[in-house]
Each structure stands twice: as C-alpha cells, then as structure tokens.
Amino acid sequence: MNRSSSPLHSTPLRRTRLLLGGLGIALVVLGAVLFIQQIPAIRYPGVAGWLLGALVVHDGIIAAAVLGVGLLLRLAPWSAATKAIVSGAAVVGGIMALIVLPAAWKDAIGTANPTVLPFDYLGNLVWFELGVVLVAVVAVIAARNVTARRSATRRRSARTTCPGPAQRPPRRPARCRRRAASAASPPSDLRCAVDQADDPRCRRPTW
C-alpha cells in the first residue's frame, strides 16, 4: 500500500496533527514562562516531586486502568463505535476522579484554612460522572441508530442494483405442453400425403 494513499498520511489529517502539535508546544512554552515568572526557585524541588508523582499516577494507575478497560471491551460483543464511546467515557471519568478525589478526601478530613477548599468536591464529582454516563448512553444510542440506518440503506440499494435470478414462468400442464409441441412440430410425411396436403408446413421448398 502506498504511504501517501494511506488515510493516516492524508493531507487533512497531516494538517490536523501539525496544528495540534504546534498548539501543544505553544502551551508548554507558555506554561514554562509562567512557571519561571510566578514560582520561586525554592519551591522547585516540591514541584519536581509533584510532577514525578503525577507521572507515577499516570503510568501506574491511569494507563493500567485504560489497558484493563480496553481488554474488557475487546471481549464485549459490541460494535467498534460503541467500544470507542465507552472507552472514551471511562477515560474521562477516571481522569476526573483521580483529579478530584484527593481534594474531596482533604475536604472530608478538614483543613486549617476552610477557604482553600470551598466547594463540594465529592458531590460535584458524582454529578460529573453521571453526566459522563448520560452522554455516553446517548452517543451509543445515536451510533447504533446511524449504523442501523446505513445497513438498511445498503440492503435497499443491493436489492435494486443486484436483483436475484428471474422467476421462472409457471409450468403448464403436461397435456398443454404436448399440444404445443405437436402444433410446433411439422407433421410426418405420411400425414402430409394423406390428409394434410394443404398444410403450409407440408410444403417442400422448390429449387
């Protein structure tokens, strides 16, 4: 297969990847500039520890959870669209839970300054997860409806463009078939000589 003809290397997809890559690099540069301007150097070790912990959480928990969900979805008798929707919902819900649960736990045990955590983090997390489930259910129903509609359209087009074998005409009774055969076949020489001399079928070509 030619590399240029592959969907993964098409021009629109390549432009989208370059755009997303450039946007990501710009955000990284902006974050680095703000970090240097607003974070004192004495807090760099703490930030490094936090980044290391985030890396461990991402590779050790989030990646493992996504891999487990992917293996379970592979065994499920669902379509590819349904599996993609469920997998995306699981990833979004899991990442949000990992972000919010530490704040909810700290809010539950109490803080020295109540204004640090002013929201109901656990309740908001529950509502967010319910919203993710609702959106996933609606997306699965819509995807199945679209798939069913496309299948029905393909079946209708197959019937119109590729008809089945022509139906055979109904068979006539044997008596009718014998009469038709005798009428179509020329009479014998004896009958032509005796009683059907005027029959056009009895005439012989003259040379």
pLDDT for position 161: 57
Q: Which residues contact 202 (CB under 8 A, 6 or more apart)?
A: 186, 187, 191, 192, 196
- CA–CA dist 58, 54 (Å, integer): 6
Check pLDDT > 90 for residue 29. yes
The answer, yes or no, to whether residue 1 has pLDDT greater than 80, is no
The pLDDT of residue 146 is above 70: yes
Closest alpha carbon to 147 in 84, 69, 75: 84
pLDDT tens column, 58-106: 778 777 877 887 888 888 888 888 888 888 888 888 888 878 887 787 7
Higher pLDDT, 177 or 87: 87
Share of the chain above pLDDT 90, in %: 13
Q: What pTM was estimated for this model as a whole? A: 0.50
Stretch 6-12: mean pLDDT, rounded?
63
What integer pLDDT is reported at residue 137 of this predicted model?
93
Q: Which of 24-28, 37-41, 91-95 has the highest mean pLDDT?
A: 24-28
Buried b (16+ CB within 10 A) or exposed e, 2-36: eeeeeeeeeeeeeeeeeeeeeeeeeeeeeeeeeee
Please give the mean pLDDT across all residues of the chain.
75
Query: 158-176, pLDDT tens digit by residue?
Result: 776 554 555 455 555 555 5
Cβ pair 96, 83 in contact under 8 A: no
- Name the band, by pLDDT with cuts 50, 70 and 90, for residue 138: very high
Please report the pLDDT score of residue 132 as a whole number: 92
| pLDDT on residue 27 | 93
- Residue 33 pLDDT class (50, 70, 90 cuts): very high
Q: Where residue 190 falls among pLDDT bands split at 50, 70, 90?
A: very low
Average pLDDT for residues 105-126, to the nearest whole number?
78
User: Environment class of residue 97 by beta-carbon count within 10 Å: exposed (0-12), middle (13-18) or buried (19+)?
Assistant: middle
Residue 186 pLDDT level (bands cut at 50, 70, 90): low
